[in-house]
Amino acid sequence: MKKSIINLAVTVAVLGACITALGFVPGSSSEYDYTVGIVQLVRHDALDAASQGFSDRLAELMDEAGKTVKIDYQNAQNDSVNCSVIANNFVAKKYDLIMANATTALQAAYNATEDIPILGTSVTVYDVALGLDDYVAEEGTGANVSGTSDLAPLEEQAQMIAELVPSAKRVGLLYCSAEPNSRFQVEEMVRSLEAMDAGYECEMYAFSDSNDLQSVVQRMASESDVIYLPTDNTVASNTALIDNVCRPLGIPVIAGEEGICEGCGIATLSISYYNLGVITAEMAAEILLQGADVSSMPVRYDVNPVRKYNAEICEELGITIPEGYDPV
């Protein structure tokens, strides 16, 4: 069963750890041993699951350590300016740690403070997101930032296109030009497809925001045999729009993650965003409880992706799914 954050207010009933979507957190910071702020770019299944996993696990770890934590959850409503306002507010309140959920949220937190530890999640590649020079993954970022990556197993996802849509030659790859990690994923996917030497004709389709998404998707669907969607936040928030264009045309979609697959895809090889949040919380506990240096903590990954398929769309498009896939 999927876990989600309730729109208005959710209280994590473990030693007073609280999450609110409107910014009001009961009790003063002085009543808790630690105060942690979550800035989440936008509400959709993947990001919600990461925030929930983080909150659940951090509350558990604090309970085990005999400590209390207040978690202030803020949704930026897919607005970069809101991300900056929220991050700067956390800094002004001198929170002990900031969890930034998605690339734009991470960039805002990174620009807001050089002192407070920042952990990102649902971020694909940190040096791309933050423009880090001389980045060595095993040594950490060298800044007050680390976290977890949602980088998908792109080579294996490319193989899924050949496995599930063997007749396809024209591959459309959609990404948001405002999300550098979205572009990174589709560029890597193009390299993986071309390396297969299967004669794929790959075309990247960029959109700027939700306002031009439909027109770009319509053009892409008319020019493609199969479509690949990366772990892009605007895409994840608009799967119904994409499905309403692609499914009637019989164009199958391979998705970068489970939530997108559930909304408009035929299949995915997806990490668990809930588990990604759990891993991020464990890093937070190491920083808060053990004094770990965030600057030297390597970015961590969920190393157990799962093959999932959308039974309804597959049946409608006449696509047979082999063994080894679970339903979304």
How far is it, in rounded angstroms, from Cα 276 to Cα 236? 17
Q: Is 147 in a helix, a strand, or coil? A: strand
Name which CATH class applies to 9-150+272-297.
alpha beta
* Per-residue pLDDT at 54: 98
Q: Phi first, then psi: give them for residue 261, nearest 5 degrees.
A: -60, -40
**Range name among 8-12, 113-117, 185-189, 320-324 with the lowest pLDDT average:** 8-12
Pair of tokens at residue 292: 């770990």
Decide if pLDDT at 141 tops 90.
Answer: yes
Pair of tokens at residue 264: 């408009």
Angstrom distances, CA of residue 259 to CA of 113, 254, 310: 32, 12, 10
Decide if pLDDT at 284 tops 80.
Answer: yes
Q: At what angle do helices 239-249 and 210-222 cross, to 10 degrees?
A: 20
Q: Per residue in 246-278, pLDDT tens?
A: 999 999 999 999 999 999 999 999 999 999 999
Q: Residue 29 — very low, low, confident or very high, per pLDDT cuts 50/70/90?
A: low
Place of tokens 């959710």: 10
* Per-residue pLDDT at 19: 39
Rounded to the nearest integer, the mean pLDDT of the chain is 91
Instruction: Taking residues 163-190, report their average pLDDT.
Output: 96
* Per-residue pLDDT at 134: 87
Decide if pLDDT at 312 tops 80.
Answer: yes
Q: What is the DSSP letter of 173?
A: E
Q: List 140's β-bridge partners, or say none.
A: 136
Work out the number of other CB atoms within 10 angstroms of the CB of residue 54: 30
Percent of the chain with pLDDT over 70: 91
Predicted model pTM: 0.86
Establish how many alpha carbons lie within 13 A of residue 209's alpha carbon, considering only the half-sphere containing its beta carbon. Answer: 4
Instruction: Taking residues 72-98, report their average pLDDT.
Output: 97
Strands 145-149, 300-301: parallel, antiparallel or unpaired by DSSP? parallel
Q: List 38's β-bridge partners, or say none.
A: 73, 99
Q: Specify the domain boundaries for CATH 3.40.50.2300 within the chain.
A: 9-150+272-297, 154-270+306-327
Pair of tokens at residue 31: 């009543």
Decide if pLDDT at 151 tops 60.
Answer: yes
* Per-residue pLDDT at 12: 35
- Which CATH number applies to 154-270+306-327? 3.40.50.2300
Q: Which of 50, 35, 62, 57 is nearest to 4 (CA)?
A: 50
Angstrom distances, CA of residue 80 to CA of 41, 111, 118: 8, 12, 17
How far is it, in rounded angstroms, from Cα 313 to Cα 255? 13
Q: Residue 152 — very low, low, confident or very high, per pLDDT cuts 50/70/90?
A: confident
Q: Per residue in 15-25, pLDDT tens?
A: 333 333 333 34
98 or 11, which is more confident: 98
Decide if pLDDT at 3 tops 60.
Answer: no
Strands 226-229, 201-207: parallel, antiparallel or unpaired by DSSP? unpaired
Q: Residue 10 — very low, low, confident or very high, per pLDDT cuts 50/70/90?
A: very low
How far is it, in rounded angstroms, from Cα 157 to Cα 163? 10
Percent of the chain with pLDDT over 90: 88
Instruction: Taking residues 235-245, report their average pLDDT.
Output: 97
Decide if pLDDT at 5 tops 60.
Answer: no
